[in-house]
Chains A and B, each alone.
Chain A
Amino acid sequence: MWLSLNIVSDMVDLSGLTAEEIAERLTMSTAEIDGIDIMNGHLEGVITAKVLEVKPHPNADKLTLVDLDTGEKNLRVVCGAPNHKKGDIVPLATVGTRFTEEFTVKKTKIRGEESEGMLCSEKELGFSDDHSGIMVLPADTPLGKPLSELRRDWFDRRLEIDNKSITHRPDLWCHEGFAREIGAIFGREVKDPVDMSLEKTFKSEDTLKVEIENGEAAPRYCGLHMKNIKIAESPDWLKARVTAIGMRPINNIVDITNYVMAEIGEPMHAFDRKKLKGNTILVRMAKDGEAMTTLDGQEHSLTAQDIVIADASGPIALAGVMGGGMSEIDDSTTEIVLEAANFNPVNIRRTAGRYNLRTEAAVRFEKSLDPEICPRAIVRCYQLIKELIPDAVAVTPIVDAYPEKAKKVNVQTSFDFIRRKLGKELEDGEISRILKALNFNVNGGKDGIDIEVPSYRATKDISIPDDIVEEVGRIHGYDNITPRAPYVPCEPPGKNEKRAFERRVKEILVQDAGLVEVSNYSFVGEDLLNKLGVNEDRELRLKNPLSLEQDRLRRGLIPNLVKNMELNQRYGDEFRFFEYGRVYYKKERSSKDLAVENTRAAGIVYSRKATGPLYYRAKEAVTILLNRLFIAGFSFTQASEKLPPYAHPGRTARLLIGGKEIGFVGELHPAVMNAFDVRGAAAFFDIDADALLAAGSGRGRFEELPRYPDVPFEVSVLAERRDHAGNICAVARSGAPEFVKAAEVISVYEGAPVPEGKKSVSIKVVFASGEKTLETAEVDRLQKAVIAALEKKGYKLR
């Protein structure tokens, strides 16, 4: 919203205040000011000058050389306009005048002739759309005067209000509201722009009736019938002000209603009285399917939730949003009905949304306007019409339907409460002074105060003591409050295990396993799921997705991670990353209960030219994680059934903890790599982090360090190619379980001389005793026992 300081200065004296100062104080106490605009700032550089002579340009047919007298000196400009002649007083933009960021008037040569400035059209000056020729000023205009003085109305300082910062303040959607704030902040008196005594001059004919059908939807409706109206162009001052508030001048009546809305905040409407059928204006709910055409030419089929203004023929306006085309005023209008009404903000908000008509009126009504403004707005309109059209008369009094007067709001609180909430020792008198400056009436004293809230703050803004705290705090200035630490017990906070675990897991994966953490959207789309073959159509859908790629909530982390792989392999041959995040499960997609959120840790290891299966690298990362967490009893078992479709059938393992499956480690299926057109290989892991946390972890008791030496023993056996080396170690261990401290694979070899389909597995078995040093004979016996166990299971020694 534009705030014109010219308009504000009608209500409060701004002398001695810069626009910057006003903007700064308003930002700190009232609402955010987005910027300061000097409207028509160029007018300061444009001065009046008299044309002494107009000569043809020697080198150009359409250009002329104009000699000018500025009162101080004579100079010459080159000009392309056709109209100006000797003796005319014209506006001269002097050298250095800045019109826009890009255009500043400079001393220049045009086709070889020097030009010291520019003569301006009305359009160039910002006064109208007239660009037919140079503006010619009245003959008695003094010379050398800047236009910013001569056309004071057109030169304005405007503040741009951030509308979002005043959504809770219906009173601030107009200049009067800001004038009141400025008055309170700077301690200056505020004048009421409305002269209510004019109401006494209204005649009392009975030519208009108003009825409200539903007082909740339309609490108030004021109408006024006026005659002797002559539609004309607005005078210069009004055009300037309407332009300053960001609207286009139309004609005197429309401009006045727009101006009054900007000035005192009540959206107004003027109907052509002669186009109305009957004497009664009825405010009622629309009928379902009722048709109506608004001023913008749009035809609407209304609903029973919309409020309409109707005459005997039907709807003449969509209440609070836009007038109807049928009753619009035009150049021949001589009688009008002025409307100032109040509507239920929720109805207006929904109607405006329904028909996509977020008009200036609707934006204001949906903020809960004060019904007390309505008669004021009518009188203010009358006042301005009378100024512009002295013959105009109000033939009726204000016809006011106001079924239930708005309740006064009083707030009971105490000076102490205000001080306590602010944390500042303000004097009682200072608190009262601030509240009175804001037009709050304060009664009472030490034992409590009763505060009467002005009607324009009472519609929803101020109702509880805490609201009063804000009023005092903001005008006093929050920067004047000294920060203070509270007196509270000093004790460690409760620990959030889930959060702490998340952090631990991430740190291990990053610091120990060397993975990069990525973060993906919670959304997936059908195409991606299809590409991975995991589309079971079970994802919870968004009602309002932004795109088809993001129209449902993920049930797994892997799909987006595969996309990450596709992206990253464009820039690197080798990388590994993980995500720790939530997936969302819903049994019945439509049932009202919340989705179950499962936290997972998943990652991908990629290499364009891997030597050896990447599975082992992913497994290594997971093993590092499990070991660092001191998780006991985990195992990787070959998984060939019930695999995720994107998993390599021969290179995937289930991760079990205490026999319970908590995730997968595997390579991505070559078909996936093909589908994403990615060369190389990739391995993944996908772990249920909630289950991991539940599995329990942590160090056990301290174990005594071994006191007797280990005795290692190496043995190689022949095994089937698809035998698991882990099994062979287990068999070896079973030969002498009480003495085998460890049994590990040293190497696996396939190829000649090992027969086809077989492999040679070398394992290292470590014997040790907790009680004694093992004698040679004893070691011999143990070795034989291990060999016997292996042979019994069919593993031949090599």
Chain B
Amino acid sequence: MEDKLKAILSGATESIGRAEDAGALEEIRVRVLGRKGELTQILRGLGELPPDKRGAMGKLSNEIKAKVEAALEEKLSELKSSKFSKLLEEEWIDVTLESPGSTARAKLGHLHPISQIQYEIEDIFTSMGFMVLDGPEVETEYYNFEALNIPSYHPARDMQDTFWTEDGNLLRTHTSAIQVRGMEKHNPPFRVIGPGRVFRYEATDASHENTFYQVEGMMVDRDISVAHLIFFMKVLLREIFKRDVTIRLRPGYFPFVEPGFELDIQCLICGGKGCGVCRQSGWVELLPCGLVHPNVLQCSGIDPGAWSGFAFGLGLNRLIMMRYGINDIRHFQSGDVRFVRQF
């Protein structure tokens, strides 16, 4: 019996060594350890042995069973790992390639940089309780000039050369026209902004465009002061530039505000030391603003004795040009997707 057991072990060991896959191992397992397997038969026959040999044989049988099982297990894991080792060789791919077809087609969409900055500014202001307004791009003289305290003979009309349409109207030269419509529609107090496209009769070159974008802003309430205006401008610029920006307010003339200001920011390129961008001055002119002229309030039916306000106009093109170092304003209206895809 002992010989038989040893023969089973050596036979199994040999077959396991020769097995080439998990299926062959399974066959061996069934043949040796299965219900009708060679070793199982022996174990069943143990009862017929004399009691004194039973113990030793039983022990031996169990040892052999354990050895066969271990050999099977070892071979199986050996087979498994050798199978995966071929993955590198057989299933290797070039990870520097792209998904088929996608190299030929940029799949990402891009919002025009003007839209991006416009929405950014809308979000800043709506979060502070400003309403977003709208107005026509083809405007009347009244909304673009008269209602803003710019009568027909006023030299300020020189300052913003205008496109006129054959029907006697004009293309709005500033988003301030939106402001006037806002004042007519809403009773004070109110806080509004009006983003949009504006037009100037101007030959285009790297720094001049006939079509560009502004955001107009206005707040009308009780006792609005220069201090309030400065507060909002500082918040706006901190949010846009993501850091505190040094500003200065100096006198500037715009017929629809009194007092009127030019707001300069300390040059972000040189930090105020003077460079080409700021024409060595250390400052960059960014936005005109001021307290709303009483004539303008009056014109839209708001009592300047009871209410006061501030207004400002922010040019979006210049802001983006400054933020990204764009040197030619004509890119914005070029329709060139290579430009927009950078944003």
Q: Determine if chain A interacts with chain B.
A: yes
Question: Which residues of A are interface residues toward B (Cβ below 8 A)?
Answer: 27-32, 164-165, 167-169, 345-346, 349-350, 366-367, 420-424, 464, 466-467, 469-470, 473-474, 478-479, 481-486, 488, 490-496, 498-499, 503, 506-507, 509-522, 540-546, 550, 553, 560-561, 563-564, 567-568, 571-575, 577, 581-582, 584, 586, 589-595, 597, 607
Seed contacts A28-B250, A584-B137; 5 additional CB < 8 Å A-B pairs = A29-B250, A483-B228, A493-B130, A518-B336, A597-B136
Q: What is the minimal beta-carbon distance from A708 to any residue of chain B, in angstroms? A: 38
Looking at the complex, which one of A484, A494, A514 makes contact with B108 (CB distance below 8 Å)? A514
Tell me if A591 and B167 are in contact (CB < 8 A): yes
Chosen A-B contacts, 30 in total, with CB atoms closer than 8 Å, are A28-B250, A32-B250, A165-B251, A167-B156, A167-B159, A366-B155, A421-B225, A422-B227, A424-B225, A466-B291, A478-B249, A479-B249, A484-B225, A493-B132, A499-B134, A503-B122, A509-B109, A510-B111, A516-B109, A521-B333, A522-B171, A522-B197, A541-B165, A542-B163, A543-B163, A545-B163, A568-B336, A575-B106, A575-B337, A584-B138
Q: What is the minimal beta-carbon distance from B319 to any residue of chain A, in angstroms? A: 15
Q: Which of B28-36, B85-93, B253-261 lies at the interface?
A: B253-261
Q: What is the minimal beta-carbon distance from B141 to any residue of chain A, in angstroms? A: 11
Alpha-carbon distance A512/B153, docked complex (angstroms): 52
Contacts of B197 in A (CB 8 A): 522, 581
Question: Which residues of B are interface residues toward A (Cβ below 8 A)?
Answer: 104-112, 114-115, 119, 122, 126, 129-134, 136-140, 153, 155-156, 159, 163-169, 171, 189, 191, 197, 199, 201-204, 210-211, 219, 221, 223-228, 230-231, 234, 248-253, 258-262, 291, 293-294, 308, 332-338, 340-341
Tell me if A520 and B138 are in contact (CB < 8 A): no
* Closest A-B pairs by Cβ, 8 of them: A423-B227, A423-B225, A470-B259, A564-B335, A510-B109, A483-B231, A478-B249, A493-B131
Contacts of A478 in B (CB 8 A): 226, 230, 248-250, 261
Tell me if B258 and A574 are in contact (CB < 8 A): no
Tell me if B259 and A466 are in contact (CB < 8 A): yes
Number of A-B contacts (CB under 8 A): 246
Q: What is the minimal beta-carbon distance from B341 to any residue of chain A, in angstroms? A: 6
Tell me if A466 and B132 are in contact (CB < 8 A): no
Q: What is the minimal beta-carbon distance from A525 to any residue of chain B, in angstroms? A: 14
Looking at the complex, which one of A349, A424, A577 makes contact with B153 (CB distance below 8 Å)? A349
Contacts of B204 in A (CB 8 A): 546
Q: What is the minimal beta-carbon distance from A513 to any residue of chain B, in angstroms? A: 6
Alpha-carbon distance A498/B132, docked complex (angstroms): 10
Contacts of B202 in A (CB 8 A): 546
- Given that A474-B259, A586-B167 are contacting pairs, would A560 and B335 also be in contact in the complex, using a CB cutoff of 8 Å? yes
Tell me if B227 and A496 are in contact (CB < 8 A): no
Tell me if B336 and A567 are in contact (CB < 8 A): yes
Tell me if B111 and A507 are in contact (CB < 8 A): yes
Alpha-carbon distance A607/B137, docked complex (angstroms): 34
Alpha-carbon distance A349/B197, docked complex (angstroms): 30
Tell me if A165 and B252 are in contact (CB < 8 A): yes
Contacts of B334 in A (CB 8 A): 567
- Given that A421-B225, A485-B231, A522-B137 are contacting pairs, would A542 and B167 also be in contact in the complex, using a CB cutoff of 8 Å? no
Contacts of B224 in A (CB 8 A): 486
* Identity of the chain B residue whose Cβ is nearest the Cβ of A564 in the assembled complex: B335
Tell me if A515 and B109 are in contact (CB < 8 A): yes
Alpha-carbon distance A371/B70, docked complex (angstroms): 118
Tell me if A517 and B110 are in contact (CB < 8 A): yes
Alpha-carbon distance A543/B164, docked complex (angstroms): 5
Tell me if A484 and B227 are in contact (CB < 8 A): yes
Alpha-carbon distance A541/B122, docked complex (angstroms): 33
Tell me if A568 and B250 are in contact (CB < 8 A): no
Tell me if A496 and B131 are in contact (CB < 8 A): yes
- Given that A466-B259, A540-B166, A543-B164 are contacting pairs, would A519 and B156 also be in contact in the complex, using a CB cutoff of 8 Å? no
Contacts of B153 in A (CB 8 A): 345-346, 349-350
Tell me if A592 and B129 are in contact (CB < 8 A): no
- Given that A167-B253, A481-B227 are contacting pairs, would A493 and B156 also be in contact in the complex, using a CB cutoff of 8 Å? no
- Given that A422-B227, A567-B335 are contacting pairs, would A466 and B167 also be in contact in the complex, using a CB cutoff of 8 Å? no
* Identity of the chain B residue whose Cβ is nearest the Cβ of A517 in the assembled complex: B112
Tell me if B155 and A553 are in contact (CB < 8 A): no
* Identity of the chain A residue whose Cβ is nearest the Cβ of B230 in the assembled complex: A483
Q: What is the minimal beta-carbon distance from B108 to any residue of chain A, in angstroms? A: 6
Q: What is the minimal beta-carbon distance from A343 to any residue of chain B, in angstroms? A: 14
Contacts of A561 in B (CB 8 A): 335
- Given that A466-B291, A498-B134, A574-B104 are contacting pairs, would A542 and B164 also be in contact in the complex, using a CB cutoff of 8 Å? yes
Tell me if A496 and B134 are in contact (CB < 8 A): yes
Contacts of A542 in B (CB 8 A): 163-166, 171
* Identity of the chain A residue whose Cβ is nearest the Cβ of B293 in the assembled complex: A466
Contacts of B260 in A (CB 8 A): 470
- Given that A516-B110, A594-B136, A597-B136 are contacting pairs, would A544 and B227 also be in contact in the complex, using a CB cutoff of 8 Å? no
Looking at the complex, which one of B129, B140, B228 makes contact with A423 (CB distance below 8 Å)? B228
Tell me if B227 and A482 are in contact (CB < 8 A): yes
Alpha-carbon distance A481/B115, docked complex (angstroms): 34
Tell me if A506 and B335 are in contact (CB < 8 A): no
